[in-house]
Amino acid sequence: MLLEMMASLYLNECPLLQSGVDPFILFEVGEEETMSCFQVLTLQEQYGDCLEQQVPLDPSIITYDELRYLKVLHFGYDGLFHVGELIVNVKVADEVLDIFKQLYLMRYPIEKLRVMSCYGGSDELSMEDNNSSSFNFRHVTDGGKLSNHAYGLAIDLNPKVNPYVKNDLVLPTNGLAYVNRDQHVLGIIKKNDAVYQLFTSHGWTWGGDWTSLKDYQHFEKNY
């Protein structure tokens, strides 16, 4: 019965959450069954005829074939597990899937993990909602060149509690209370912690290590 319920995890509302089953029971079922809930799909498989509407981009810069849609499990701020989604570059799809498997196994809390179409492509709205995300065809925060998010090569985690800070500018604005990095709050990322070590061990760079500004939510990989 439990395995049948697991097979329907990709509904909008997880039946396991509705039934009140202890989320940690998946660890008792076994890692193999749990890990089968993590998937990599093409964008065409996920969106079909709605693809261009749901995932806007410039095909002269990056094509849909260069991106992948990931379905993952993650622990939420409520202590329960949730089904999350993100779009990443095909070059890092398998690697990111593995990273999120490890985040799940270490029970790192991610409040929300939704694609940017849920926020109309607005980075500001997504950050304010503490939504973690990857692909978004946009420029860097201060304008100029395209962001690594536009290539699916950057991931922002719990952006409200891991804000972008440059001089007096704090984004999202409701992240001001988390500029002080000495506090202990759910989802915070600190240098050399388990999340930092997980990403950097795969060759990702953390925005919290930058000198001209601090982007504590941000991990990226360059090719």
How many residues are given for the chain? Answer: 223
What DSSP element (H or E) covers 96? Answer: helix 93-105
Query: Tell me: the pLDDT tens digits for 62-86?
Result: 999 999 999 999 999 988 888 899 9
Domain count, the chain: 1
**Helix, strand or coil, per DSSP, at residue 164:** strand
Tell me what pLDDT residue 37 has: 82
Task: Judge whether 182 lies within some domain.
Answer: yes
Structural domain including 210 reads 38-220
Task: Judge whether 29 lies within some domain.
Answer: no
One-letter amino acid of 215 = D
Contacts of 150 (CB under 8 A, 6+ apart): 57, 61, 62, 135, 136, 137, 138, 139
Task: Judge whether 10 lies within some domain.
Answer: no
Q: What is the mean pLDDT of residues 190-202?
A: 98
Task: Judge whether 11 lies within some domain.
Answer: no
Residue-wise over 115-145: b if at least 16 C-beta within 10 A, else e? bbebbeeebeebbbbbbbbbbbbeeebeeee
Task: Judge whether 42 lies within some domain.
Answer: yes
Contacts of 173 (CB under 8 A, 6+ apart): 128
Query: Tell me: the pLDDT tens digits for 24-57?
Result: 334 444 566 677 789 999 999 999 999 999 999 9
Task: Judge whether 81 lies within some domain.
Answer: yes
Tell me what pLDDT residue 31 has: 65
Flag whether the pTM goes above 0.75: yes
**Helix, strand or coil, per DSSP, at residue 182:** coil
Torsion of CA 165, 87, 37, 200, to 10 degrees: -50
DSSP assignments along 49-83, one per residue: GGHHHHS---TTT--GGGEEEEEEEEE-TTSSEEE
Structure tokens at 105: 């196994």
Structure tokens at 202: 């795969």
pLDDT band at 9 (very low <50, low <70, confident <90, very high): very low
pLDDT band at 139 (very low <50, low <70, confident <90, very high): confident
Tell me what pLDDT residue 32 has: 67
Helices first, then strands: H and E counts in the chain? 9, 11
Task: Judge whether 172 lies within some domain.
Answer: yes
Show the beta-strand stretches assigned E in the chain.
39-42, 67-75, 81-89, 112-113, 131-132, 154-156, 164-166, 169-171, 205-206, 214-215, 218-220
Task: Judge whether 28 lies within some domain.
Answer: no
| Peptide bond between residue 172 and the one before it cis (omega within 30 degrees of 0) | yes
